[in-house]
Amino acid sequence: MSLVISDEIVKASGLSQEELLIEVVLLLFQQEKIALGKAAELLDMSQIRLQQLIAERGICLHYDVSELQEDIQYLKTKGWL
């Protein structure tokens, strides 16, 4: 599924497309809808950089066993583990 956000919404937000994507992904992460690994993948950034961004925003880092397992799987698919 693809999500198309109209140019009007992007313009009204006052954000660039990239900034709006970051805001949406961080909101989903903060609401515990997606895990850290998935958020990093969606934003095409390293998990370390994402953790820095989360810390800069004062967002609590929630992390449980299922997220650890998801991150391990992500690292394996990247060939890093």
Say if 71 falls within a structural domain. Answer: yes
pLDDT confidence of residue 50:
95
Say if 65 falls within a structural domain. Answer: yes
Say if 41 falls within a structural domain. Answer: yes
Say if 1 falls within a structural domain. Answer: no
Say if 2 falls within a structural domain. Answer: no
pLDDT confidence of residue 61:
80
Domain range for 15 is 7-77
Q: Residue ranges of the chain with pLDDT lower than 50?
A: none
pLDDT confidence of residue 29:
94
Q: Is 63 left (phi over 0), alpha (psi -120 to 50) or beta?
A: beta
pLDDT confidence of residue 68:
83
pLDDT confidence of residue 38:
93
pLDDT confidence of residue 15:
94
pTM recorded for the entire structure: 0.72
Q: How many domains are there within the chain?
A: 1
CA distance 34 to 16: 22
